[in-house]
Amino acid sequence: MSQEQWNAVDRYLSDLFVGSDPALEAALAASDAAGLPQINVSPPHGQMLQVLARSVVANGAPGARKILEIGTLGGYSTICLARALPAGGRLITLEFNPKHAEIARANIARAGLADKVEVRVGKALDTLPQLASEAPFDMVFIDADKEGYCDYLAWSLKLTRPGSLIVADNVVRKGAVVDPASPDSMVQGVRRFNQMLAAEPRVSATAIQTVGAKGYDGFAVAVVVK
Ligand code: SAH
Ligand code: DHB
Ligand code: MG
């Protein structure tokens, strides 16, 4: 199995399940033009985030009404998630880098989602404590610095309610996650995160490996049960 094959299958799945999407394509083009790193979720993964957001029940109806994202970049995953929101729904996304936030705001506006999405600039550990009045969130997507994932999980648990969904990106890191001696601080961050998530009694959780246009990595998904 090769990256070439994963790319071909990702194209096949994107064509089937995502198709031509001018707003997402424009967001990627603007992000590339601004020199942002190409570490956004892939089209099928973005679509999966949207499906998950639509599957969460909030106020007795399908669809997350309040979504929190930690790590915006150019707003690609933000757009995927925000499209799942019902009328009156809201997404808050946290981004450390002001340039990323500016590009994301433009991409989100171009996608017609400016009225539903707020990009808050700052280190997530500084902006998360200001979210108490917006809680509980029906879904959290964790995708910022991997070293902070345990802190982001602790905050996610504070800011959600039973039935909320917590999803985290990049929990496999090309398989390096199995190496306890890895010198990579991102690998150590996701190792601590996976361990914390697995031991957390307030969630039912798992993690899965993924391959595709973004290489070999994985997602963790957890539902808050109490
Ligand atoms: N969710 C995006 C990708 C996010 S990449 C997508 O799939 O489209 C990770 C982002 O987290 C980067 O933009 C980076 O600047 C941001 N980040 C890194 N450390 C952070 C921190 N401490 N607080 C908030 N954002 C942070
Ligand atoms: C990397 C990939 C990501 O999806 C992300 O959110 C952050 C970093 C990376 O490969 O470095
Ligand atoms: Mg990621």
Q: Is 143 in the pocket of ligand 2 (CB under 6 A)?
A: yes
pLDDT tens string, the chain, 226 residues long: the values are 799 999 999 999 999 999 999 999 999 999 999 999 999 999 999 999 999 999 999 999 999 999 999 999 999 999 999 999 999 999 999 999 999 999 999 999 999 999 999 999 999 999 999 999 999 999 999 999 999 999 999 999 999 999 999 999 999 999 999 999 999 999 999 999 999 999 999 999 999 999 999 999 999 999 999 9
C-alpha separations of 197 from 56, 96, 146 in Å: 20, 24, 14
Reported as a single tens digit per residue, the pLDDT across 160-196 is 999 999 999 999 999 999 999 999 999 999 999 999 9
Question: Residue 39 is which amino acid?
Answer: I
CA–CA dist 139, 63 (Å, integer) = 10
Nearest CA to ligand 2 atom 1: 39
pLDDT at 1: 75
Q: Which residues line ligand 1 (CB under 6 A)?
A: 39-41, 71-73, 76-77, 94-97, 100, 123-124, 143-145, 148
To the question of pTM greater than 0.95 for the whole model, the response is: yes
Q: DSSP 3-state assignment of 158?
A: helix
**Residue whose structure tokens are 């400016």:** 114
Pocket perturbation via mutation, ligand 2, pick of 40, 70, 170 by most ligand atoms within 8 A of CB: 170
pLDDT at 105: 98
Report which ligand 2 atom has the smallest distance to the Cα of 146: 7
CA–CA dist 207, 218 (Å, integer) = 7
CA–CA dist 145, 10 (Å, integer) = 25
CA–CA dist 77, 52 (Å, integer) = 13
Q: Which residues pair with 92 in a beta bridge?
A: 68, 118
Nearest CA to ligand 2 atom 11: 39
Report which ligand 1 atom has the smallest distance to the Cα of 144: 11
CA–CA dist 186, 144 (Å, integer) = 11
CA–CA dist 95, 100 (Å, integer) = 7
